[in-house]
Structure 1
Amino acid sequence: MPELVVLGTTALYELRYTLEGDLDGAVRHTDPELIESCRQEIGQLLAESEELLTFHNRVTAPLLTARADRRPADER
C-alpha cells in the first residue's frame, strides 16, 4: 500500500522510498477525483481500524510478556 499525504482537497502526495528505506521524494497529484477517491478510502480504513492501544494490549503485550518469561533470570 502506498504511503500517502493528503492536503485537504488540493493535493495528494505519494511518498517514494529507496530500496534501503530512505525517503526519495514524492509524486504530487492534483486530480480532484483521485484525491476524493483516496480520501474516501482512507476514511473507510480508519472507520474499520482498531485503536493502537487496544491492538497492543490484545496482540503485542502478550508476546512481549511471553518473551520476557523465557529469558534467564539473570538477564531480567
Structure 2
Amino acid sequence: MTSLNNPQILSPTFYLAVEEAEIDGKVILYINVPESSQVHRCKGKILDRNEDGDFDITNNTNLVSRLYMRK
C-alpha cells in the first residue's frame, strides 16, 4: 500500500482507504478505487482502462489527449 504514496510509482499520488474484513476465518483487504478526475501515471506510463483491460497509451498523443478531455 505504500506504492500509492510513492510519486515514483503513482503520480499524482492517490489516497485509498484499506478496509479489513474477516470471512470464513480469513482476513480480506477491501479497497474501493473510485474514478479519478485526474490523469495518473503508473511507473511513468499512462494507462487507459476499458472493458478488455488496461492499455498503455503513453506514446499515443491522440489517445492521451482524449483521456485528458474525458477527465
Bin the TM-score by the shorter chain: under 0.3
Q: Which has the larger radius of gyration?
A: 1
Higher RCO structure, 1 or 2 (CA under 8 Å, sep 6+)? 2
TM-score normalised to the size of structure 1?
0.20
The structure with the largest strand share of the pair is 2
The structure with the largest helix share of the pair is 1
